[in-house]
């Protein structure tokens, strides 16, 4: 079965695009036959860093084979429909970085198009990936995510360690004064998986973003210092270990390892 992965959530600023970039980088390193979509269009983080460029450093018009396809999911109907039309390309793996408020938008889109049922009819199994910050507005989106698709999808929750450790996420895990978030039980009952998004030192991420580098390219770029490249290498290794925990849900298992042509 083919896999359709969507990094989504209704709360902005949780690290969603960082997770999408980490996934895109992994797919590129492993030469997976993946269609990569940026739901924020040409202004999106994923498109800016992973689009295919011409010799002048400008994005090429045709991004379908090896680049990032920009779709304005918050735009007009014809733009939103491109998300579902992507299945017509029959790629074994599709990954989309969805915009802020995407759970609400996906609910309406599913109501309009029967999105999740159409994915099943085209032999795609969807995965919804939700990156969590420790705040209540973020943690409650897990319940909303699972209520959106129910048994029609698989679920991955990534705890963004940029915001702190286990104790800082008491709105999710609970503590002496607070019960665990109900989304935890829903995630477990739905067969979902919890992973971590390890923290990358701020200065390293700033340097990478300033140079507009992919993570893989940055590891070999002499414009970064040796300590910066070393910290990045260790971070990528740690992220890969976490992604491996949800390999089947994220399209990282051997069955979808086909190289791009």
Q: How confident is the model over 106-136, as pLDDT tens digits?
A: 999 999 999 999 999 999 999 999 999 999 9
Place of tokens 């450790």: 165
| pLDDT score, position 261 | 45
What element of type H or E holds 18? helix 16-29
Structure confidence at residue 254 (pLDDT): 67
Task: Give yes or no for a contact between 219 and 200, defined as CB atoms under 8 angstroms apart.
Answer: no
pLDDT band at 98 (very low <50, low <70, confident <90, very high): very high
29-52 pLDDT tens trace: 999 999 999 999 998 999 999 999
pTM of the model: 0.93
Looking at the predicted structure, is the pLDDT value of residue 191 above 70?
yes
Assigned CATH topology for domain 2-200+248-256: Rossmann fold (3.40.50)
Report d(CA 16, CA 131) in Å as an integer.
6
More confident residue, 129 or 176: 129
Q: Which of 32-36, 100-104, 222-226, 229-233 has the lowest mean pLDDT?
A: 100-104
Q: What is the mean pLDDT of residues 219-235?
A: 97
In angstroms, the CA 130 to CA 123 distance is 23
Our measurement of the distance from residue 78's CA atom to the centroid of its chain's CA atoms, rounded to an integer in Å, reads 23
On average, the pLDDT of the chain sits at: 93
């Amino acid at each position: 079965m083919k896999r359709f992965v969507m990094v989504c959530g209704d709360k902005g600023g949780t690290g969603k695009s960082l997770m999408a970039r980490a996934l895109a980088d992994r797919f590129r390193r492993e030469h997976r036959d993946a269609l990569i979509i940026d739901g924020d269009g040409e202004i999106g983080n994923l498109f800016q860093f992973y689009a295919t460029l011409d010799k002048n450093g400008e994005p090429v018009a045709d991004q379908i084979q090896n680049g990032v396809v920009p779709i304005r999911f918050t735009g007009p109907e014809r733009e939103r429909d491109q998300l579902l039309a992507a299945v017509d390309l029959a790629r074994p793996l599709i990954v989309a970085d969805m915009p802020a408020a995407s759970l609400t938008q996906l609910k309406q889109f599913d109501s309009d198009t029967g999105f999740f049922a159409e994915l099943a009819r085209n032999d795609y199994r969807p995965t919804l990936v939700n990156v969590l910050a420790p705040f209540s507005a973020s943690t409650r989106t897990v319940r909303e995510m699972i209520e959106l698709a129910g048994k029609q999808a698989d679920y991955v929750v990534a705890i963004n360690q940029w915001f702190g450790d286990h104790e800082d996420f008491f709105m999710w895990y609970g503590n002496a004064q607070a019960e665990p978030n109900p989304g935890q039980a829903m995630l477990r009952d739905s067969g979902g998986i919890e992973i971590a998004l390890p923290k990358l030192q701020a200065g390293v991420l700033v340097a990478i973003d300033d140079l507009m580098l992919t993570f893989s390219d940055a590891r070999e770029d002499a414009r970064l210092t040796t300590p910066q490249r070393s910290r990045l290498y260790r971070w990528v290794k740690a992220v890969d270990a976490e992604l491996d925990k949800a390999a089947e849900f994220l399209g990282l298992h051997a069955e979808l390892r086909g190289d791009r042509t």
